[in-house]
């Protein structure tokens, strides 16, 4: 699924990484603990999270994530957005809760790393 399709499904807003809208997302995950993201992420994966600090972007960069989906319409600090923009890191904001995001993306065919092989 292309990033732009994922954004549409989640009624999301792309805040950074606009050039990545045509890229394919094949794996999705969800976590609020950075240690979980570090341990379980796969390259080019997108993670659904409520974590908005710059550390979330740094964690994504060291694990080669494609980006983050920030849930519940949370306000994202400017430092987080600046770091993401500097690295062409995708940040999508949605009003949906984490559970709903996961369900919508799963129903649309995206699978987690435990169900998908890269």
The pLDDT tens digits of the residues spanning 91-118 come to 999 999 999 999 999 999 999 888 865 4
| pLDDT over 60 at 26, yes or no | yes
Closest CA to 96 of 29, 17, 12: 12
Residue 72 lies inside a defined structural domain of this protein: yes
CA–chain centroid gap for 2, Å, is 13
pLDDT of residue 21: 97
Looking at the structure of the chain, the number of domains it has is 1
Tell whether 53 is covered by a domain: yes
**What's the CATH number where 15 sits?**
3.40.1390.20
In a domain, 115, yes or no: no
Domain carrying residue 27: 3-107
- Cβ density class 8-21: b for 16+ within 10 Å, e for less: ebbebebbbbeebe
| Closest to 53 in 3D by CA, of 77, 83, 31 | 77
Q: In whole numbers, what is the pLDDT of the chain averaged over residues?
A: 94
């Amino acid at each position: 699924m292309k990033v732009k399709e994922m954004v549409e499904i989640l009624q999301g807003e792309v805040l950074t990484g606009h050039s990545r809208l045509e890229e394919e997302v094949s794996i999705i995950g969800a976590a609020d603990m950075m240690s979980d993201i570090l341990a379980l992420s796969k390259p080019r994966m997108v993670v659904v999270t409520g974590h908005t600090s710059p550390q979330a972007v740094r964690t994504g960069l060291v694990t080669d994530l494609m980006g983050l989906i920030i849930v519940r319409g949370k306000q994202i600090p400017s430092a987080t957005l600046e770091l993401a923009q500097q690295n062409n890191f995708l940040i999508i904001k949605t009003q949906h809760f984490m559970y709903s995001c996961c369900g919508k993306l799963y129903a649309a065919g995206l699978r987690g790393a435990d169900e998908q092989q890269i």
